[in-house]
Structure 1
Amino acid sequence: MKNKTIKDYSITKEDFELIYHKKYDMYQTKFSAFDQLGAYYKSENYISHTDGKRNWFEKMYQLVKNHTIKSKWNLISNVTNRSYLNVLDIGCGTGDFLKYGIQKLAVNGVGVEPNKTARGIAQSKKMDVFISIDEMPAEKFDVITLWHVLEHVTDLNVYFQFFKEHLNKYGTLIIAVPNFKSYDAKHYKQHWAAWDVPRHLWHFSKTSIKQLAEEHQFKLIHIKPMYFDSFYVSLLSEEYKTGSKNLIKAFCIGLLSNLKGFFSKEYSSHIYILKK
């Protein structure tokens, strides 16, 4: 594969180069001004940093989020088989995932969220949220989750080392990331919303996660699709490509992506379950 140039359609309209790493079957966004990266998140439309319900799109997002939160906790219950859990959610956003676990399932939940606005909302929901993993105490967790977060971090090796040090002996690591080999990615090409440069610094395939897991002594136990992601990404991709979300067309592309994924096993996003 070749390097490619992708535009930041959502905020700055700047172009960024993606560097392909053959060993990992992975792209890396060429970006070095990490001290300025926070500016690329400053937008009222960056929906994961708000609990906004200003329009039909945000209302639908929040509705689907509530459904997927329950699905995520069901997944955690199935892969851990434990009644009490100590859980760290990295990139916890406004904290609704942790809030559900703490209030409904009586887990001990802790979050990490660098964005000040999102962190403030999460803390208002009565939970402990740290600014970064560097501020975390020397605590062990049964489960560490990153729901669409690993693609944002500056140094993958630093994070995998953190996972090793902060997971219990039989702990579970759950990583959800977009998949650039999905049908919706191939259909929308440079307009695929999940490129989301420069906020997404890494762009993964299944090979990427498998390789990273092996290098850091993790076992990849299972890969699960995230069915709703193809619809959400297709809506944004339609807007980037045409100027309108084109609800019906986006729904059709999202559905087709899931149908093709059933045979190719390449969905819009995957959840990876890893064990120490």
Structure 2
Amino acid sequence: MNKLTIDICPLCGSMHISHYINCIDFYASKEEFELLKCEECNFIFTQNAPVDSEIGKYYETPDYISHSDTKKGIVNYVYHLVRAYMLSKKAQLVIKESHLRSGKILDIGAGTGYFANAMYLRGWEVEAIEKNEGARVFAKEHFMLDVKDEAALMNFPTGCFDVITLWHVMEHLEHLETVWARFSELLTEKGILVVAVPNSASYDAEKYEKYWAAYDVPRHLWHFTPATIQQWGAKHGFILAARHPMPFDAFYISMLSEKYRGKSFPFFRGLFVGVLAWFSSLVKKEKSSSMIYVFRKKR
């Protein structure tokens, strides 16, 4: 198997990188993967993950919710309840931050198409990209969405989107330099980039350490903090315009993390930790389990 071996920090170019933590792929393979951390900029990344062309088998499980839409188990049931609420919140955020009631939006990593459909129903012209074929089929059958495969990203004309969204997708993308440069090309001058990613500096990440479910190795290649995601934007000509916490994510992630620790009653234990994480994010939103970042192009 070909692996993504990283010797130089992808963010700052430093060669001063060191061992951070070892995590197990509890979700699919039960394999162990090492996380490295740059000593200069503190960016964290997964070492020796399968390359993009070979990582598909690590997504091939009926429990991978963004592809299968499964409601199996109480944790996934909670995920669906929260998603129904968050779809409206995400749409409202896009409208508020873009200052547009309608426009043209590209949703990258659209999964089974729920968010793309929510924006379509609000009158937006929607394009969507999703790598997984099964998820694309689901979006077509349930929402009549023509979701394109990942190759389409390079085929759209320059400056054609008012908004580009990535909801828990950036951490999966192998070629970060290429996609960040492409975002700048595809957005209009007043366009916005909306990125939601797990926060490895969160309350729950610090509590669960190697059991933190949002490390999700090897599917998650990159592990962002508020500081490092801002550096990625600045590197590619973006300024950070807004940050929004996603406190609900702490409940889902904590429940999974308790399960991975082998604890009894993971739902209730995770619920309790989720409450603590919620209060932590109220005091300091940079401690939220996941964060939404809104970027604008530098003028």
The one of 110, 114, 138 equivalent to 2:157 is 138
Unpaired runs of 5+ residues, structure 2, are 1-17
Larger displacement relative to structure 2 (235-244 or 212-221): 235-244
Q: How far 1:3 sits from its partner (Å)?
A: 2.2
> Are the equivalent residues in 2 in contact too, given 1:25–1:204 (CA < 8 A)?
no
Q: Which moved more, 1:46-55 or 1:248-257?
A: 46-55
Q: CA deviation at 1:68?
A: 0.3
Deviates more, 1:24-33 or 1:93-102: 24-33
**What SS class does the counterpart of residue 248 from structure 2 fall into?**
helix
Aligned-partner SS, 1:128: coil
Query: Could you say which residue in structure 2 is the equivalent of 1:46?
Result: 64
Partner secondary structure for residue 129 of structure 1: coil
Q: Is 1:113 paired with 2:130?
A: yes
Which among 210, 234, 238 is matched to residue 218 of structure 1?
Answer: 238
User: Which TM-score applies when normalising by structure 1?
Assistant: 0.95
Matches within 5 A, 1:65-104: 65-103=83-121
Cα distance in 1 for residues equivalent to 2:267 and 2:75:
10
| Range moving further from structure 2, 81-90 or 236-245 | 236-245
Q: CA-atom RMSD, angstroms?
A: 1.5
Conserved? CA contact 1:236–1:245, under 8 Å: no
Corresponding residue for residue 268 of structure 1:
289
Distance 1:245 1:165, change over 3 A: farther
Whether 1:36 aligns to 2:54 is yes
Kindly, what percent of the aligned residue pairs are identical? 36
TM-score, length-scaled by structure 2? 0.88
For the structure 1 residues 47 and 66, does the alpha-carbon distance in structure 2 shift closer, same or farther, using more than 3 Å as the test? same
Q: Which residue does 1:242 correspond to in 2?
A: 262
| Structure 2 CA distance for aligned equivalents of residues 198 and 96 of structure 1 | 25
Q: How many correspondences in the alignment?
A: 275
1:123 aligns to 2:140 (yes or no):
yes
Question: 1:77: Cα distance to partner?
Answer: 1.1
3-state secondary structure, aligned to 1:111: strand
Single out whichever of 253-262 and 216-225 deviates more from structure 2. Answer: 253-262
Aligned to 1:175: 195
In structure 1, stretches of 5+ residues that fail to align are none
The answer to whether the Cα contact below 8 Å between 2:50 and 2:218 also exists between their aligned partners in 1 is: no
Cα–Cα, structure 1 residues 56 and 5, in superposed 2: closer, same or farther, change >3 Å?
closer
* Amino acid of the structure 2 residue aligned with 1:169: E
Question: In structure 1, what is the equivalent of residue 227 of structure 2?
Answer: 207
Aligned AA (2:44)? Y
Q: Alpha carbons of 1:10 and 1:217: their partners in 2 closer, same or farther (altered >3 Å)?
A: same
Query: Would you say 1:158 and 2:178 are equivalent positions?
Result: yes
Residue 17 (structure 1) shift: 0.9
Residue in 2 aligned with 1:63? 81
